[in-house]
Structure 1
Amino acid sequence: MKIIPITLLSAVAVLAGCTGFSTPPTTAEAIMKPTQGNTTSGVVSFSQDGDKIVVDARIQGLSPGLHGFHIHEKGDCSAPDAMSAGGHFNPAGTKHGAPSNAEHHGGDFGNLTADAAGTATLSIAIPASQITLSKSGANSIIGKGLIVHADPDDYATQPTGNSGKRLACGVINLN
């Protein structure tokens, strides 16, 4: 009769029990609330898909046309104009630009396009090297502010894109 050490049996049992299980997907959400005097609101969800963070936004209460859409450095929407959310989230210290540009802030999501009814949807995939849904790290977006602006992002004006006043603010939280 062979004697197998308990630690080896324990390790085999743990490994056998783990087969078939995977890490649950990481998701986050920002509930967008209007700033003082505005009606803009909505929901923005974030999910990890391989080496990308997928951002899905549905915003209503906008004027038809383009509206800048960015992550901001602070998860504080307490000021009536949401200026408490600070400036753009820019952990890499890069220039502001379009999400398709080689150089841009990780939180530069471009423009939302609102239809005649004032509703905008956007789905964009951002490299996980630029932003992450982890709770820590320089490029973590958890606890950061998300802003919908009144005007289009011109992708050129530094450091903000000249997107105008803040219409809605939300804080990105893990689900």
Structure 2
Amino acid sequence: MKKIWMLFPLLILTGCTEGNPKKVAVDMFNPAGDSLGTITLSEQPKGVKMEVNLSGLTAGEHAIHIHDKGKCEAPDFKSAGGHFNPDNKEHGLLHPKGAHAGDLPNLIVGGDGKVKAELMAPQVTLQNGKTSLFTKEGTSIVIHEGKDDGMAQPAGDSGNRIACGEISKNKKGQKNSQDEKQ
């Protein structure tokens, strides 16, 4: 009987994440609707790892943020809303009262317009809960024309939105926890 009770909490914890993917590919687009590549999100013990593989951007530093709406309507991507901020903090990785859960380090794009990078979003998850990226309204990833200064409100003085991708757990071809069990 003790063995059954020891397994019971494990079954409950396993069931809580059923249906949420462990890995999600986010297709990124510019205002003209051209594909820029993919950002792959994967659940990690201390947040979500973001593997960035993009091209077609202007060289230099660019702000990248997770936004609180899962809509990417061109040309300005304002439909993505503000930064994902479930704890109602200030903006900026350098802000003493910050940061938003959606605040991330700047991307550095090479002279060829390409960037391959790994970022960590330690305040978010692909699992259920307050900091889940799978909210009722969805979430998205937005890249800005300039760099994030890490302090200025509400978006680090990073300029216009130049790329956007919707985060969705229901995209065709995505690996999720049920697929990995088979």
Tell me the TM-score range normalised by the shorter chain.
0.7 to 0.9
SS of structure 2 residue aligned to 1:84: helix
**Corresponding residue of 1:107:** 102
Q: Do residues 118 (structure 1) and 116 (structure 2) align?
A: no
Q: Do residues 137 (structure 1) and 129 (structure 2) align?
A: yes
Moved more, 79-88 or 95-104: 95-104
**Corresponding residue of 1:98:** 93
Q: Please give the root-mean-square deviation of Cα atoms over the aligned residues, in Å.
A: 2.8
- 1:115-170 Cα offsets, whole Å, 9 max, x none, are 0101112212232xx20102x43211133011011111111111111111111110
Distance in structure 1 (CA, Å) of the matches to 2:146 and 2:35: 13
Aligned-pair CA distance for 1:100 = 9.9
TM-score by length of 1: 0.77
Q: Within 5 Å, give how 1:22-171 maps onto structure 2.
A: 26-36=22-32, 41-98=36-93, 103-127=98-122, 130-134=123-127, 136-142=128-134, 143-171=138-166
SS of structure 1 residue aligned to 2:106: strand
Query: Which amino acid in the other structure matches residue 80 of structure 1?
Result: P
List alignment gaps of at least 5 residues for structure 2: 12-16, 175-182
List alignment gaps of at least 5 residues for structure 1: 1-7
SS of structure 2 residue aligned to 1:113: strand
Distance in structure 1 (CA, Å) of the matches to 2:111 and 2:121: 28
Q: Structure 1's 61 and 170: CA in aligned 2 closer, same or farther, altered over 3 A?
A: same
Q: Name which one, 1 or 2, has greater alpha-carbon Rg.
A: 1
Distance in structure 1 (CA, Å) of the matches to 2:133 and 2:94: 16
TM-score by length of 2: 0.74
Q: Structure 1's 27 and 71: CA in aligned 2 closer, same or farther, altered over 3 A?
A: same
**Corresponding residue of 1:3:** none
Distance in structure 2 (CA, Å) of the matches to 1:156 and 1:55: 22
Distance in structure 2 (CA, Å) of the matches to 1:144 and 1:125: 16
Of Structure 1 and Structure 2, the greater strand share is in 1
Distance in structure 2 (CA, Å) of the matches to 1:80 and 1:46: 25
Q: Percent identity?
A: 35
